[in-house]
Structures are given as structure tokens and as C-alpha cells.
Amino acid sequence: MGMVARPWRRESMEMQVETFDGDKAARVHMEGPIDIDAARSVWDTLDGLAERPAINRIVLDFSAVTLLDSAGIATFSVGVNRLRDLGIDVRAEHLSREHRKALDLMPSYREGVSVAPEVMGVFAGVGDVAMGLWKQFKQFYDTLTDAVFAALRMFKGQLPPKGSITRESVKLGVDALPIIALLSLLLGLILAFQSAHQLRQFGANIYVANLVSIAMVREFGPMMTGIILAGRSGSSMAAELSTMKIQEEIDALKTMGIDPDRYLVLPRLIGITIVQPMLTLMSMAIGVSGGYIIARFYLGLSTSIYWNKSFAALDMGDLGHGLGKSVIFAWIIGIIACYSGMAVRGGASAVGRATTRAVVAAIFMIIVADSFFATMVTLIWG
């Protein structure tokens, strides 16, 4: 005896709207599953009721509803909020335990809960900001200590992946050579030209060499290189790490037993620590050379006089001051960029926010650190 196959029929949702109390109230009777296919019908029904100016009360009858999925929950949440914003009283009847739990997943749907944002007092607002800052500081501290411990574990043989430091050094620093060289040359030209315009009034053209060399070696060379790397390399580091975080690649590394700090963070920190002083030294030399162009062809100083005065104005302390600051700037850029990338939360838009936060915070901290160094060196050594 053979079996006869019966065609499968999907259960559909039906809605009926009944008005009562002189057309001032309406009852919406729903039957069947309220899923993604029925969401449009639900929305059209609620939207149509919102257009009736006479209605001030609506009752939603869930007695015959067999299924309520996430699409139905979202549709009811948006529709009911719109009706309540119009001053219409919306109530639900005959909700099963499962359906009520499902609707309670949308906090704005719960009866008696206002959808207006909570007004926060002054002290509560200050406390909320303080707690947010403390949470960010704790995350930054965790990132910093994890990086330090990963660096210390290098002495136990736990080295970064082979070739990763070289690859990061090339990507973070070597590719930035042209832009840093060009801007250093232009900065040297500007310093020399502006100082020459003032010094030539007193017949002190020869001191242009002193001014340009000291300014480039002690201040502008390290700071300008740090700012450029913060905008170029720091943003790249933050974007890469935050993208990996969003795509759960970092969680995959942890699952495979690979330390993300040793595999991702440490090569970037070591790479930028290596290239930052080198780029700073190049920026110093090119900036002083830019000043030579103005001194030679605008002021008429000889080559020997300019370079002799430049070398006489500098000593090893000035060079060490500039290179020491460059190392500090490298750590600031690397730690902030890695923290912004590793602590990201959310979707694709969070990558942009993390990148922007990394660049702004790094540049701000570079300027603060440079001001601190300049103040302390002046007060201590004069």
C-alpha cells in the first residue's frame, strides 16, 4: 500500500481589527505566527490605526498567536512606541508566558516604562564620567602591562614571529621616509626664513645657523616626526588591530593558544621604537640642511660658516635630548594605538572611532610630553 504525499502548507497570520466604544477604541485580534513574513502586515495595521484621529485606546489580542520571533518583537516595539507617542493607550491581552518573555526583550515595549531618555543629575553625570574614565584607564593599564610582560618574556626565548619586527619596521617607518623628509626640509626653510627676516635687521644673520640647528635637534625634529607617525603609522596600527578584533581574529588566536600580545602588539611596539629615532635623526639633518639653503642663497652666508656655527651651537646633550624624546614619543604612539585597537567594541563604525581616538590621543600626549621635557630641562639645566 503506497503512501500519498501531501503538499506542505505554511501557516499564515491573519489580523482582524474591531472598533468599539464609539470608534474610540480598537481591538486587534491576531491569529497564527508573527514572524518576518507577517511583520509587514503587523506594521501596516498599527500604522493604519495611528492615522485614525478618533482612536485613543488599542487592545492587542495575542490569544491565537502561535509564534512570535525577533522580527515580530521589533515590529511591535517600533509600532507601539509610535502609538504611545501619539497619546494612544496600548495594552496587550492574553499573552502567554513565552510571548511575554519575548516582548520583554524589548525594554521600550514594557508597559509603564517611558521611552524618554532618563535625565541625569549633575553629580550622577560627574560620577558616570569618572567611572568611564576609570574603566578606560584600567583597560589602558592592562594593555601596557601586557606589553611589558610580553617584552620581558623575550629574555626567556618567547620571541615574536620571525620576520614580524622587520615587516612592521618597514611598514611603520621606512614607508614614511618621503613625507618626513619633505616636511623636514620645508620646516627648516621656514625657520631659517622667518628668523632671517628678524635677525638681518640687527646684522645678526650668522645666528640663523644656531637658531635652526637647535630648534630642529631639540624640538621640531622629534615632535614633527612623532606627529607624522601618529597620524600615519598610529592610525594604521589602530585600524588593523580593531578590524581584527571586530572580525574575532584575535579571539581565534587565543583559542589556538597564541598570545596576541606577542604575536600582534610586541612587533609593532619594537618596530616603531626602532624607526622613530632613525626618522628623527634624518629629520634633524634635513631640517638643518633646509636652513642652509636660505642662509646660503638668501642671506649670502658661506657654506663653511653656516655648518661651523651649526656644529658649534650643538653638543651631545642636545642630540641625546632629541633622540630620547623620540623614543618616548614612539612608546606613546605604539601603546595608545594598540590600546585603541585591542579595546574596540561594536561593528564596523567602531573601527573609525578607534582610529580617530588613537590619532588624537597620541598627538595630544606627544605635545604634553614635549612640553614637560622642555620645562624640566630648562628648569634643571637652564
Q: Which residues contact 250 (CB under 8 A, 6 or more apart)?
A: 241, 244, 260, 264, 342
d(CA 306, CA 30): 91
Q: Is the pLDDT of residue 97 over 80?
A: no
Strands 25-34 and 14-20: antiparallel
Q: Which of 46-50, 281-285, 362-366 has the lowest mean pLDDT?
A: 46-50
Rounded CA-CA distance 123/125 in Å is 5
Residue 341 Cα distances to 195, 282, 333, angstroms: 42, 29, 12
Give the three-state DSSP class for 61. Answer: strand
Residue 38 lies in a domain: yes
Q: How do residues 151-164 score in pLDDT, each as one tens digit?
A: 888 888 788 888 88
What's the pLDDT band for 331 if we cut at 50, 70, 90?
Answer: very high
Residue ranges making up the domain that contains 82: 14-109
Q: Which three cell numbers stand for residue 180?
A: 618626513
CA distance 225 to 237: 17
Least confident of 10-14, 147-151, 161-165, 186-190: 10-14
Q: The pTM is what?
A: 0.65
User: In this structure, what DSSP letter does residue 89 have?
Assistant: E
Whether residue 86 sits in one domain with residue 195: no
| CA–CA separation, 18 and 10 (whole Å) | 26
Interatomic CA distance for residues 379 and 375, integer angstroms: 6
SS3 25: strand
Q: Is residue 376 part of a domain?
A: yes
Residue 279 pLDDT > 90: yes
Mean pLDDT in the chain?
Answer: 82
Q: What is the CATH number of the domain that holds 65?
A: 3.30.750.24
Asked if residue 173 lies in contact with residue 233, where contact means CB atoms within 8 angstroms, the answer is yes
The helix (run of H) or strand (run of E) holding residue 73 is helix 70-85
Question: Do both 33 and 177 map to the same domain?
Answer: no
Q: Is the pLDDT of residue 367 over 90?
A: yes
- pLDDT number for residue 282: 93
Is the domain of 352 the same as that of 228? yes
The pLDDT of residue 329 is 94
Q: Reply yes or no on whether the pLDDT at 214 is more than 80.
A: yes
Q: Where a domain ends, among 86, 109, 132?
A: 109
23-27, 200-204, 294-298: least confidently modelled range: 200-204
Q: Number of helices (H) and strands (E), helices first, in the chain?
A: 15, 4
Query: Do 38 and 183 have their domain in common?
Result: no
| Residue 114: per-residue pLDDT | 42
Tell which residue, 262, 378, 375, 369, has the closest CA to residue 326.
369
**Alpha-carbon distance 67 to 94, whole Å?**
14
Domain identity same for 314 and 376: yes
As to burial, measured by CB atoms within 10 angstroms (0-12 exposed, 13-18 middle, 19+ buried), residue 138 is exposed
Amino acid symbol at 17: V
193 and 95 together in one domain: no
Return the minimum-mean-pLDDT range out of 14-18, 100-104, 195-199: 100-104
Into how many domains does the chain fold? 2
Which tens digit of pLDDT belongs to each residue from 10-30?
A: 456 777 878 777 677 888 888
* Among candidate residues 116, 47, 118, the one with its CA nearest the CA of residue 83: 47
Beta partners for residue 68, in sequence order: 34
Instruction: For residues 26 and 85, state if they share a domain.
Output: yes
Q: How far apart are CA 18 and CA 347, in angstroms?
A: 43
Q: What is the mean pLDDT of residues 231-248?
A: 88
Residues in the chain: 382
Task: Quote the pLDDT of residue 153.
Answer: 82
Sheet holding 14-20, edge to edge: 14-20, 25-34, 57-68, 89-93
Q: What is the pLDDT of residue 146?
A: 81
